[in-house]
């Protein structure tokens, strides 16, 4: 969902809300071992007979919701906030973290709209922001805070 609104001629709001769902299946057959007869011939037929193929199966799932909002004032000052929460299948068994939240906040100012600058500066913008990032794998084994 998207919103793009202007109100009272001084303020603007752009907001987005969404979700994503990923579901990956991987199946395969692994075989490996010492080469039997022909050097540097890497094929199943040239492997020693004491190695048997192994079937592999892997499934990962990630469900996420995310949102962003940007509030603008007089086309020169913008406050932006975003958030995303992921529920990854890698975390299901640890029981400590139901989801991972990734927030961010930023403030930007278009200086060329706020003040008169020398003519050789056609556009000047300043931005500061804070964000937190991570991944399901980096979260495994971390004890949540109080």
Query: What are the sequence ranges of the domains in the chain?
Result: 2-24+33-139
- Three-class DSSP category at 103: strand
Residue-wise pLDDT for 11-58, tens only, equals: 999 999 999 998 888 898 887 778 888 888 888 778 877 767 788 888
Of 37-41, 82-86, 117-121, least confident by mean pLDDT is 37-41
pTM (2 d.p.): 0.66
Inform me whether the pLDDT recorded for 138 exceeds 70: no
Q: What is the C-alpha separation between 81 and 67, in angstroms, rounded? A: 8
* CB-based burial, 104-129: b 16+ in 10 Å, e otherwise: eeeebbbeeeeeeeeeeeeeeeeeee
Burial 75-91 (b: 16+ CB within 10 A, else e): eeebebebebbbbbeeb
């Amino acid at each position: 969902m998207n919103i793009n609104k202007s109100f009272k001629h001084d303020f603007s709001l752009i907001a987005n809300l969404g979700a994503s769902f990923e579901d990956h299946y991987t199946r395969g057959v692994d075989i490996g071992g010492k080469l039997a007869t022909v050097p540097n011939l890497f094929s199943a037929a040239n492997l020693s007979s004491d190695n048997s193929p192994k079937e592999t199966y892997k499934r990962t799932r990630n469900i996420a919701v995310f949102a962003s909002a940007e509030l603008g004032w007089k086309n020169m000052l913008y406050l932006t906030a975003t958030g995303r929460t992921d529920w990854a299948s890698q975390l299901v068994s640890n029981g400590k973290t139901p989801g991972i939240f990734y927030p961010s906040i930023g403030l930007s100012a278009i200086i060329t709209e706020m003040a008169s600058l020398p003519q050789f500066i056609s556009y000047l913008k300043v931005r500061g922001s804070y964000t937190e990032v991570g991944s399901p794998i980096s979260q495994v084994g971390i004890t949540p805070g109080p």
